[in-house]
Structure 1
Amino acid sequence: MLVTTNVDPVAKIKVVGVGGGGCNAINTMITDYDIPGVDFMSFNTDAQALKMSQAPVTLQLGEELTRGLGVGGNHDMGAQAAEESLDQIQEFLEGANMVFITAGMGGGTGTGAAPIIAGVAKNMGALTVAVVTKPFEFEGNKRREIAEEGIAALKDKVDTLIVVPNQRLLEIVDESEKLSFIDAMKKVDSVLAEGVNSISNLISQTGYINADFNDAKSVMQNAGTALMGIGRASGENRAENAARAATTSPLLDMSIEGATGVLYNVVGSDLTLTEISQVSELIKEAVDPSANIKFGAQIDPNAGEELTITIVATGFDENKQVFTKKQKGVDENVRTFGFKPRAEEVKEEPEMEIDSEEDVLESFEKADIQEEDFEEDILPSTPVSNPSNLGDGESILDTPTFLRRRKA
Structure 2
Amino acid sequence: MSKYGLDTDDGQVNYGKARFIVFGVGGGGGNAVEHMVQEGLNGVTFVAANTDRTALDNLTVPHKIQLGSEGLGAGGNPEEGRRYAEEDEDEIRSMLDGYNMVFITAGMGGGTGTGAAPVVARVAKEMGILTVAVVTTPFDFEGKKRMKSAKDGVSQLTELVDAIITIPNQKLLKIYKQISFTDALKKADDVLLHAVSGLVQIVDTADNVVINTDFRDVRTAMTAKGYAMMGIGRASGDDRARQAAEKAIRSPLLDDIRLENAKGLLVNITAAELMMSEPEEIAEALSSIADLEEGNIFYGYVQDESMGDEIHVTVIATGLTLDDRPKVAVQQAPIQNLQTAPAGHVSALESRQQAQQAQPQAQSVQAQAQPQTAPQVKTRIDVNSYLKSQQHNK
CA distance in 2, matches of 1:312, 1:142: 33
User: Tell me, which stretches of 5 or more residues in structure 2 are unaligned?
Assistant: 1-13, 348-394
Counterpart contact for 2:191–2:340, Cα < 8 Å: no
CA pair 314-61 structure 1, distance change in 2 beyond 3 A: same
Letter in 2 for 1:48: T
* Match in the other structure for 2:317: 313
Counterpart contact for 2:194–2:340, Cα < 8 Å: no
Q: CA RMSD in A?
A: 3.0
Moved more, 80-89 or 196-205: 196-205
Counterpart contact for 2:230–2:341, Cα < 8 Å: no
CA distance in 2, matches of 1:205, 1:150: 35
CA pair 136-320 structure 1, distance change in 2 beyond 3 A: closer
* Match in the other structure for 2:279: 276
CA distance in 1, matches of 2:328, 2:19: 34
* Match in the other structure for 2:218: 216
1:365-384 equivalences under 5 Å are: none
Counterpart contact for 2:75–2:111, Cα < 8 Å: yes
* Match in the other structure for 2:84: 81
Counterpart contact for 2:258–2:323, Cα < 8 Å: no
Looking at CA atoms only, which structure, 1 or 2, has the larger radius of gyration?
1
List per-residue Cα deviations over 1:264-310 (Å, max 9, x = no partner). Answer: 22334554454333212221243222121113333456656543333
Letter in 2 for 1:294: F
* Match in the other structure for 2:105: 102
Matched, 1:71 2:78: no
Moved more, 280-289 or 107-116: 280-289
CA distance in 2, matches of 1:216, 1:334: 25
User: Tell me, which stretches of 5 or more residues in structure 1 are unaligned?
Assistant: 1-6, 344-408
* Match in the other structure for 1:238: 240
CA distance in 2, matches of 1:133, 1:303: 33
* Match in the other structure for 1:140: 143
TM-score between the two structures when normalised by the length of structure 2? 0.74
CA distance in 2, matches of 1:293, 1:324: 29
List per-residue Cα deviations over 1:12-47 (Å, max 9, x = no partner). Answer: 2111111111111111112214332x2111111111
List per-residue Cα deviations over 1:137-184 (Å, max 9, x = no partner). Answer: 2322222111101001111111111112222333334x5xx1111111
Identity %: 44
Secondary structure of the residue aligned to 1:329 is coil
How many corresponding residue pairs? 328
* Match in the other structure for 1:40: 46
* Match in the other structure for 1:59: 65
Counterpart contact for 1:45–1:62, Cα < 8 Å: yes
1:88-237 equivalences under 5 Å are: 88-173=91-176, 175=177, 178-205=178-205, 212-237=214-239
Counterpart contact for 1:26–1:54, Cα < 8 Å: no
The partner residue of 1:14 within 15, 21, 32 is 21
The alpha-carbon deviation at position 105 of structure 1 amounts to: 1.1
Moved more, 312-321 or 12-21: 312-321
CA distance in 2, matches of 1:235, 1:324: 31
TM-score between the two structures when normalised by the length of structure 1? 0.72
CA distance in 2, matches of 1:163, 1:208: 35
List per-residue Cα deviations over 1:239-269 (Å, max 9, x = no partner). Answer: 2112112223332211321212112223345
